[in-house]
């Protein structure tokens, strides 16, 4: 399936900004099962300096600065991505991976293979996931029994978070501690992903944060509005002898073709879509709009247009 992705961020400054320096993490990744076909980053006003590179985690980041007074900053990322989950997962290998128990995974994580060494960094505390409280460990232990499949334990953890926590937009922000989320059982997708990661790391196993997007489908009979989607987040667990497996606790599902991956990190701090510093005074406002939908090629557009015209003509003929 081919998707068109559009992510627009607009900052409005009450008294203008004389300078800003920013980092974007908006360019979708390419890997087996997902391929970036097109990407364009539009920035207004035009940056004084701009550069692109890969960060430590293999994500594409763009750095830019604007060294002139401006009343607003608009950053729009446009992408075309092809997604095929069947290519991402080799079924026979996944079947074997599902047999790896929690105890076996802990033992295998002591190995010196390159993928094991690389995964170990995701066992450590990170900027937003550092409080491995007794409450989090107790919550994790309900699922992560030593002789249980690591895949099954992670799947159950995803289901439990989906059931036990309420999605409440605006209840948390990036500075809300995980213990507050655990206590209130409320939050948004980034909170649920980070709770899961904290649980898995509390068991001594690697888990990473995944940022991206998910396709939303309009209710039957309704037209999907442009710009109503949002950035999304979920978590990924490393299963020794197989690799990384993604889980979406917000929607209680294994991410497949409707999930577009942009970046991986230790937590949200590593991969925000846009962050930076500005020189400004007064109130500042940020508006974000995202749209992800299946791409429609030119032939399909022409066919749809012809069908609409024929339908309109038929309706008109009924009145004569």
Check residue 290 and give its pLDDT. 94
Alpha carbon distances (Å) from 206 to 58, 137, 283: 17, 14, 41
Strands 231-239 and 207-214: antiparallel
**Cα separation values, 133 from 121, 137, 278, Å:** 20, 6, 36
What residue has token string 């995202």?
A: 290
Give the residues of the chain that fall short of pLDDT 50: 297-299, 301-302, 305, 316-320
The count of other CB atoms within 10 Å of the CB of residue 19 is: 15
Distance CA 277, CA 139 (A): 38
Q: State the maximum Cα–Cα separation within the chain, in Å, rounded to a whole number.
A: 81
Whole-angstrom distance, CA of residue 287 vs CA of residue 8: 8
- Are the C-beta atoms of residues 90 and 159 closer than 8 Å to each other? no
Those residues with Cβ within 8 angstroms of residue 219's Cβ, 6 or more apart along the chain or in another chain? none
Q: What is the pLDDT of residue 287?
A: 94
Give residue 318's pLDDT.
47
Q: Which residues contact residue 292 at a Cβ distance below 8 angstroms, ignoring those fewer than 6 apart?
A: 3, 4, 5, 6, 213, 214, 215, 216, 229, 260
CA 304 to chain CA centroid, Å, is 32
So what's the pLDDT on residue 95?
79
Given this model, what pLDDT does residue 303 score?
55
Q: How many Å apart are CA 245 and CA 240, to the nearest integer?
A: 11
Query: pLDDT value at position 310?
Result: 61
């Amino acid at each position: 399936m081919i998707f068109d992705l559009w992510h627009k961020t607009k900052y409005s400054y009450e008294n203008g900004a004389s300078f800003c320096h920013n980092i974007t993490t908006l360019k979708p990744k390419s890997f087996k099962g997902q391929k970036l076909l097109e990407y364009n980053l539009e920035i207004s006003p035009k940056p004084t300096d701009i550069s692109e590179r890969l960060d430590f985690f293999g994500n594409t980041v763009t750095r830019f600065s604007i060294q002139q007074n401006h009343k607003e900053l608009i950053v729009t990322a446009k992408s075309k991505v092809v997604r095929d989950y069947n290519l991402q997962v080799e079924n026979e290998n996944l079947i074997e991976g599902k047999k790896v128990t929690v105890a076996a995974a802990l033992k295998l994580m002591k190995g010196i293979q390159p993928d094991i060494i690389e995964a170990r960094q995701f066992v450590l505390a990170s900027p937003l996931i550092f409080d491995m409280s007794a409450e989090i460990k107790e919550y994790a232990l309900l699922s992560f029994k030593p002789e249980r499949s690591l895949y099954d334990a992670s799947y159950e953890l995803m289901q439990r978070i989906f059931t036990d926590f309420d999605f409440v937009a605006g209840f948390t922000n990036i500075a809300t501690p995980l213990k507050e989320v655990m206590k209130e059982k409320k939050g948004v997708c980034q909170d649920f992903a980070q709770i899961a990661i904290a649980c898995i790391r509390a068991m001594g196993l690697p888990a990473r944060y995944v940022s991206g997007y998910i396709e939303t489908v309009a209710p039957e009979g309704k037209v999907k509005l442009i710009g109503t989607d949002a950035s999304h987040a979920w978590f990924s667990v490393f299963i020794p002898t197989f690799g990384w497996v993604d889980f979406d606790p917000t929607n209680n599902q294994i991410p497949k073709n409707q999930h577009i991956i942009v970046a991986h990190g230790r937590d949200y701090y590593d991969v925000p879509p846009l962050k930076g510093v500005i020189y400004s005074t007064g109130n500042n406002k940020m508006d974000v709009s995202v749209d992800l939908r299946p791409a429609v090629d030119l032939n399909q557009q022409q066919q749809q247009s012809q069908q609409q015209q024929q339908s309109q003509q038929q309706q008109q003929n009924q009145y004569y």
